[in-house]
Amino acid sequence: MTNASRVAVVTGGARGLGRAISLRLAEDGIDVSVWDLDEAGALETANLVSECGVRSIACGLDCSSARAIAAAAERTRNELGPVGVLVNNAALSPFCKFEELTEEAWDSLMAVNLKGPFLCTQAIITDMRAAGWGRIINIASSSAQTGASNMAHYGASKGGILGLTKCLALEYATTGITVNAVPPNFIDTEGLQNAGIDIEAFARTTPMQRTGQPRNIAAAVAFLASEDADYITGHTLGVNGGRYCN
């Protein structure tokens, strides 16, 4: 399958990692459907993607809603074509002390971070099965590998993503579909800037003593979406500045 015939869906594409990933895939000649609850932000990303010379649309939706996902998938097929690349990036990442964590907060985060990728993958994998080719890249987190204080629900959800990645990789290993995960660590995005933490002080505690950039994650995703990665599946490609060494 050539890049010219590829269509990607990037969830959580309105800003940050999702926007960087969308733009990098566009640079590689891949059409991009940008999915996000923030429809205005998704449209802004889609316009930037179009400037790269490929087609792009924006879909405003809740990535924890099966009905909304089905509608976005159908619109993407109708306007761009069958989907060959899925990047499950949309996620919530709040801080909360464990004893203050409510059942409602736990459930709402799991709905987006873990159920969302399950629903998006189910809605799109039929396209990949029909083509005999597909790339699923799940954005996990180094917090699931090392643990993180005040992020029990987030770390648990991303641990689930790592498990889901491995299971799907094995289930679809003979179909031409690969499934891999990219767990970032401490990437300089709008979310990090608004997290209310001392970024420079925390960065000094990491092996590289600096933050990563969205382009670092985007490059890893682009590689896993490429033909060069056709013999890589079930893999966790850490982009973490040395925080967790495989």
What are the Cα distances from residue 176, in Å, to 30, 63, 120, 125, 173? 18, 26, 19, 11, 7
Return d(Cα 38, Cα 18) in angstroms, integer. Answer: 12
Please choose, from the candidates 125, 153, 127, 145, the residue with its C-alpha nearest in 3D space to the C-alpha of residue 186. Answer: 145
Distance CA 58, CA 184 (A): 25
Question: Phi first, then psi: what are they for 138, rounded to 5°?
Answer: -100, 125
- For residue 230, the number of C-alpha atoms closer than 13 Å in the C-beta half-sphere is 8
Q: How many CA atoms lie within 13 A of 101 on its CB side?
A: 18
Residue 172 annotated among the catalytic residues of the structure? no
Helix axes of 152-171 and 116-131: crossing angle, nearest 10 degrees:
20
Q: State the DSSP code for 229.
A: G
Catalytic residue among 154, 172, 231, 244: 154
Residues involved in catalysis: 154
